[in-house]
Chains A and B, each alone.
Chain A
Amino acid sequence: MASAYISMGEAHRRITDFLNRFSDAVSSQDAKSLCLIFSISSNSSFLLSLSDALITFQDASRVMRQADRYSQYADILLPLFRALQSYRLKNLVESYQAFEKAANAFTQEFRNWESAWALEALYVIAYETRILAERADRELASNGKTPEKLKGAGSFLMKVFGVLAGKGSKRVGALYVTCQLFKIYFKLGTVHLCKSVTRSIETARIFDFEEFPLRDKVTYMYYTGRLEVYNENFSAADHKLSYALSHCNPQKERNIRMILKYLIPVKLSIGILPKTSLLEKYNLTEYNNIVLALRRGDLRLLRCALQEHEDQFLRSGVYLVLEKLELQVYQRLLKKIYIIQKQKDQNKAHQIKLDLIVRALKWLEIDMDVDEVECIMSILIYKNFVKGYFAHKSKVVVLSKQDPFPRLTGKAVNS
């Protein structure tokens, strides 16, 4: 290990240097250099050399005790040293544990500081906590243990959120921590925990949402939009994801793609189809066939497309949304039949026989009998995809003469 080549004197110098930096940063309220000090996972040469020094010079606490200006921050720095050291030694679980302690101590300090000057540093800490926890969990999982650190990071960040969420200048930072929490919760699949945080963000009257930093707003809207997708609350999801999309940095194609991944199904389900060029630009080709099926009224294509990307859609959580597009496909199919009939006979066009539909479906290799198709027609009418009524006796769908196939544009479908 490289550390073996560092002399004790050098190690001591580096540690003292680091301690000076820290106490200088605190006393001069220099958030930037504090950020450097805490970004443990950045692998900066500064921190790497320090961790080597720490490995050589085992008893860093002695150095710290030498001066009051260090020792008052011992609860932050000692665990931080341990975290750095373990990180260097690739012991991520210990590194995380130590870092969380340091972070906790720092948060306590932060709480006592009047101003929010160290907000940036707190951001770094929140971020590092999450990243380290994720890595520690990976390490745990590879050792066959239960990964639990991310969960711990979640509860720790919740505490940090508590520090920030009050009134005053520190509140600006609340959204950043919220977003880190979202990332954790989505990763862990404990999305229900988001609710408490969102409530606190959205119900606060004293603080306008627009005052938060833009990047946090975009992230926040993205995640809450996804939550709305889960709830199949499409208009809200549309609003949030659209907000995220329109405010997202256009250079960040990856982020835009992430947003579109959810926005497209939402838009589809309210009847807005994307251009193929859009799908191609952001490499969202899994939606290609679905869009095509919607255009054509091709139920079979829809089902195939769903099956083909089932895993993907299930993982991203849009499967159920896409599946519900079936009704739109039926509507499209019915419309096509209607148009063809209209071309043949203007007068009888608004009456579509059930048999005809069954045959059309059969032609699509979808095997449904009359009863089932009747059921689907009922549902179409019930859900307002089709205007008209169904005459059971004669097995005929009677379409309204005015606008029999109302466009969905912008409206949510459900009843």
Chain B
Amino acid sequence: MMNQGSATMTTLDPSSQENHQAVDPNQHHMSSYYAPPNSTVAPWSAHGADSYARENGVVSHSGYDHDQQAVPPSRNVQDGLNVATSATTPSSGATNVQQDYSSYGTYQSTDPYGYNNTGYAAYYNGYQQQPNQSYPQPSGAYQNTGAPYQPLSSLQNTGSYAGPASYSSTYYNPGDYQTSGGYTSGAYNTQTNAWHEGQYATYTSHQYPSYNSDSNAAYSSTTAPAASQYQQQYKQWADYYNHTQNDVPCAPGTENISVSNVSSLSCPVPAGYSASGVQAPASHAPPGKPESGLPALSAVQSPAVGGNVHDSYWKHWAPSFQNQQPDPVQSYGQKPLDITPSHENLQQSSSCPQGPSTQYQASYQMPYNYQSSLPTVQQTVTPADTGSASKLQIPTNPRITSTMTMGLPKLDMQSSTTNAVARPAYVSVSLPKTNEKVSSNAADNALKPDTFPKSLCGYVERALARCKDDTQMVASQAVMKEIITKATADGSLHTRDWDTEPLFPMSSVDADKKERVIFSAPVSSSPKSKRSPSRRYKSRWEPLVEEKPTVQPASVTPDASKYGSWNRQFSGGKSDNKVNNSSHVKFSLPQRKTPKTDVFRPAKRQCVGDGMDATDNGEASSDSDKERSQSAYKSAAGAAADTPEERRRRENRSKRFERGHGSRIAANDNRSRNGGAGNVYARRATALVLSKNIEENGNCAVEDIDWDALTVKGTCQEIEKRYLRLTSAPDPATVRPEEVLEKALNMVQTSPKNYLYKCDQLKSIRQDLTVQRIRNELTVKVYETHGRLAIEVGDLSEYNQCQSQLKTLYAEGIKGCDMEFAAYNLLCVLLHSSNNRDLLLALSRLPAEARQNDAVKHALSVRAAVSTGNYVAYFRLYKTAPNLNTCLMDLYADKMRYAAVRCMSRSNRPTVPVTYIAQVLGFTSVVSTTEESEDTDGAEDCVEWLKAHGACLTSDSSGEMQFDAKASVSTLYMPEPEDAVSHGDASLAVNDFLTRNLM
């Protein structure tokens, strides 16, 4: 398979190869760097890898081959497109990336919608609670934007390209989720309409609100230093945002505003795109080109998405372009071809990334630091990193496991490519200054203690104390700096309780660092890296593989890689993370939107191949090894495409930004980039930071996460809380601390409300416990309470969840009613899983002392009765059952009775008195010797039951009802359960459930 894959690659992608070759000179650095990894990786990459390695010097191909076997056809098509695009525009890579995302987007949109909605909504709630005031409206906005997913996919994609997006991206990581959360189906409709109309304004306005807090602020601060124009624009945007939040139509009115809108839109939705956005601006730099490109695009098609991005850029960079915006947007949306032109623009704008880089310096600090500190380490580190990354990935993603072996090489590849691509861009831009900056950054990092509260100093000390080496130190300093600047910006610096503030995750920093190290090498080598629209890796929590077939191949193997890249991004210094993350987030959105049709696929292909600008490659690499490899090729090609003039132009531009930035920093006395970034973005609540961290970690290898540092400490004091499944990091403001949870449990226990309510409450309690990693007797109590409730109403699936949790809790030595639940477990396995092996397992695991327990003894005798079919014993045990054993037996009683009656009908002649049956089969509540009235009550029930099951009843001479055994042999049947549901689980039918259990 691998061979085939490679073959297809070569044959199908001649263009890419060509590009690659052309690029080679540029990429010498890369190849040299990678060579060592290749050799080490060799076992992994065996076939394809080798060939690739020779050609490109990039190892990642082999991994790709495996994964993408399924995809080849689509790829081919894409390749062709890519080639074409590449031929026309060297920098088409960026576009490719976009398309990829779009493809993703589609797939996401189809499958996970429900998921996203719920999850996001939940998140969103948390979000709203956060300090940002601007947010509330955004939520509404989000919903609207949510609509755009399908119809507007193109738009979102473009959005991602918008330069500003990249900044926002940092914020957006959280924002992403939030925004997505907002998306409800209802929202979709509205949004779609808006899009069709071609009104950006509406769309943007919605998104904007969310942005306001983050992106706007960020923009103003960051951009301001760079270019006065930008500042103005940004300000306008901010204003605009305010306006637009309520008014959709307003946005289009002002050109500047509209531009900003576009950018903002793109930013919030397609966090991932932000990176690309950065690139886009570059393309705009030569205004003439974009224009020409745009018309062509528009002429070809009317895809809105690509246009948006471009538009935004244009506006940013060149006011003249504003007019064009609407056109490109509309034109771009639907067809892949359009995309290519847009890419061109983007590519042209490659210089632009520099601009962003300067602006975002804070975010990029991390990489710089790494470079400076660890230049020598790079080669050695790579293998280690990959290894760790692979490990991490494996546990989390089942899919990855299959590709485990490949994991190492892939990771390396990823890291190499991604690093080269994503960070490098920035690095390259800023390189001349980097060293200085690094040092300065380090200096900056040393925060000035005087102005900070003591608790904060303590916090910093704690954080630094965790560092094992200098690089960690630098990294954590960077992170902290950002945290603190944020805190300063949103005024929480002195109000926050730094003593209890959870530390940011260290491990991630480490990982980041390592990755960075790896990356740094490629960066210097490949110019392409400069434009790195960060790609969005799906969080592992999102449904991964259901992508469209074309996308899938990439996604499958790539999962690991994605995660790796994802990890890297997240793990990086916070500023970095934020930027990247946001970009990622955004990407996801665009993916959903754009993916619409096959048309895009080719484009996507292109994205993969060419697109991989620095950022794209790096982050995109996650998609697949193949992509990675391709990206490597393409990036090389792109590099080749990069003419010296272009580079110079870019450099100048970047310098300009740097200058501006620097001055601003000086003014602020806030010299670290992180700090700057922090200020810009500062509006965020700390909770968000935390949650972001967690999220990042969620995407890291589980083992590497420093859970202690991440554990949420709840602050919510409300006793009642609805359960919402988390799809992102929990917000401490919505999490209840242990004391409150205890009250909540009491409340549930004493509440007269119905099971649905209690179940909901208990689930939210469980969630809060889990999130805070509380595992003690309270936890056990909660699960026991829930388990009992579930048993009482016969909700076995919920009960099983509790049972499995309890099993581990008891195993940890936490006290509880373990015997009681051991009995339940036995009964459950016995009566409801008809699996002998499970039963054997349950029996053999029963400790000797448990066998002495009454409840367990009872359960064991029930088992014995069932195994011989002894119905008499069963119903005797039924009447003497301790605890809730009755409830479980109840669920099985019908089957037992039916078997008993069948047995009687075969074995008894001529008749059996119904009273006897009633007594033996537990219809009578009292033993037969007691009062007659009750006896007959039971008999009546029994008669009814027997009739329902087709028994033949006669009455004998004395008038006593008799069961006619012989006649019944052929007439007995098990009636279909009345509440049977087509999907097999009656409890899933809410109405049924309500009527049965709650009324």
Contact = CB atoms under 8 A, between A and B. Distances in A.
B50 to A, nearest CB: 9
A75 B908 contact: no
14 contacts: A74-B42, A75-B42, A101-B405, A320-B836, A324-B868, A326-B868, A372-B870, A374-B872, A376-B868, A378-B903, A382-B906, A391-B908, A392-B908, A392-B911
A159 B909 CA distance: 60
Interface in A298-314: 311, 314
A108 B836 CA distance: 39
Given A75-B45, A320-B839, A323-B867, A104 B405 contact: yes
Interface in A302-347: 311, 314-315, 317, 319-320, 323-324, 326-327
Contacts of B844: 311, 314-315
Contact of A189 (B43, B841, B903, B909): B841
A75 B906 contact: no
B319 interface: no
Interface string A97-121: 0001110110011001000000000
A232 interface: yes
**Interchain residue pairs A-B with the least CB separation, the first 6:** A75-B43, A381-B907, A314-B844, A378-B907, A389-B909, A375-B872
A398 B45 CA distance: 77
A104 B913 CA distance: 70
A249 interface: no
A187 to B, nearest CB: 14
Contact of B908 (A79, A156, A159, A390): A390
A374 B916 CA distance: 12
Interface string B35-55: 000011011111100000000
B916 A392 contact: yes
A286 B782 CA distance: 45
B873 interface: yes
Interface in A340-387: 371-372, 374-382
B659 interface: no
A197 to B, nearest CB: 16
Interface string B833-873: 00011011101100000000000000000001001111111
A52 to B, nearest CB: 22
Contact of B909 (A109, A320, A371, A391): A391
Contacts of B39: 61, 65, 74
B44 A320 contact: no
Contacts of B910: 391
Contacts of A109: 46
Interface string B862-886: 0010011111110000000000000
Given A155-B402, A390-B908, 7 more contacts: A61-B39, A105-B46, A112-B3, A232-B836, A311-B844, A375-B871, A378-B908
Contacts of A271: none
B2 interface: yes
Q: Is chain B's interface secondary structure helix, strand, loop, or mixed overall?
A: helix
Contacts of A101: 43-44, 405
Contacts, number: 113
B193 interface: no
A31 interface: no
A95 to B, nearest CB: 15
Contacts of B911: 392-393
B404 A152 contact: yes
A378 B3 CA distance: 68
B612 to A, nearest CB: 26
A382 B908 CA distance: 9
B540 interface: no
A109 B43 CA distance: 11
Contacts of B44: 75, 101, 105
Interface residues of B, number: 43
A372 B47 CA distance: 71
A230 B873 contact: no
A105 B840 contact: no
B382 to A, nearest CB: 16
Interface in A57-81: 61, 65, 74-76, 78-79
A93 to B, nearest CB: 12
Given A65-B39, A78-B42, A389 B907 contact: yes
A372 B40 CA distance: 73
B609 to A, nearest CB: 26
A230 B837 contact: yes
Contact of A319 (B402, B840, B873): B840
Contacts of A378: 903-904, 906-908
Contact of B840 (A75, A100, A320, A381): A320
A231 interface: yes
A152 B404 CA distance: 9
B868 A327 contact: yes
A318 to B, nearest CB: 9
Nearest to A151: B401
A191 interface: yes
Interface in A167-205: 189, 191
Nearest to B919: A371
Interface string B387-413: 000000000000001101100000000
B920 interface: yes
A108 B907 contact: no
Nearest to B874: A375
Nearest to B872: A375
Nearest to A76: B43
B289 interface: no
Nearest to B911: A392
Contacts of A392: 908, 911-913, 916
Contacts of A108: 2, 46-47
Contact of B870 (A75, A375, A389, A391): A375
Interface string B890-931: 000000000010111011111111001000100000000000
Contacts of A317: 837, 840
A326 B864 CA distance: 11
A78 B46 CA distance: 12
B687 to A, nearest CB: 33
Contacts of B837: 189, 191, 230, 317
Nearest to A159: B402
A320 B867 contact: yes
B326 to A, nearest CB: 53
Contacts of A376: 868, 870
Contacts of B912: 392
Interface in B809-842: 836-837, 839-841
Contacts of A104: 43, 405
A61 to B, nearest CB: 7
